[in-house]
Amino acid sequence: MVDAKPSRPKNPALGVLATIAIFVAIIGSCAAYFLWPRGERLGDIDLRAESSKLSIDVGSGDKLNFRIDTITVATNSGYPNSSSSRTNKVQEELEASKITITSVGNDGSKASTECGAFAGKSTTGSSESESVTSSGIPLDCSLVVPKTGVYTLTATVAWVPKDVRVAILEVRREKSGK
């Protein structure tokens, strides 16, 4: 009779590391999907300028997506002292601010969309005692271009924060599958 050697238990650390790696990959993929900007960048609109416009040449069915490239709000007075509370207050005010984006085609056709200046997502940010800056904020509004042509985009904002120092709207295009 041959004695069988007892099998050694496998190292559970490898299984744990593999599980963690898969979990991190899934979380990273979800974050990239929801936060990564959609489409090619067409240009910027300065949301603080009186008459900032962007002229674009797009195709029928193209979807225009928008995000705040950079925004800085001064927080000298009336904001909490802690950095996280100050950032949360600014984000609440930006969410209550309304951006209206209007496109006018060369043929006179008009379309517009409205959304808050913060949609609960931000890719980067910093808070100092005098200001809060955020970048890469995807917005919950878009426009679909009805027909091929040149369009002029304008944007207006009803700001809730009292002192917006910098506000740049990024315009991106997802080409139609037509």
- Residues (pLDDT < 70) of the chain are 1-9, 30-38, 122-123, 178
Is residue 58 within 8 Å of 121, Cβ to Cβ? Answer: no
Cβ neighbours of 160 (radius 10 Å): 17
Instruction: State the total domains in the chain.
Output: 1
pLDDT at residue 74, rounded to an integer: 92
Is residue 171 within 8 Å of 43, Cβ to Cβ? Answer: yes
pLDDT at residue 123, rounded to an integer: 64
Residue 125 lies in a domain: yes
CATH number for the domain harbouring residue 135 = 2.60.120
What is the residue range of 143's domain? 40-174
pLDDT at residue 5, rounded to an integer: 67
Residue 157 lies in a domain: yes
Residue 17 lies in a domain: no
Convert the pLDDT of each residue in 50-62 to its tens digit: 888 999 999 999 9
Kindly state the tokens that stand for 142: 């878009």
What are the residues whose beta carbons fall under 8 Å from the beta carbon of 170, sequence distance 6 or more?
37, 41, 43, 44, 66, 67, 68, 69
Convert the pLDDT of each residue in 69-89 to its tens digit: 999 999 988 888 888 888 889
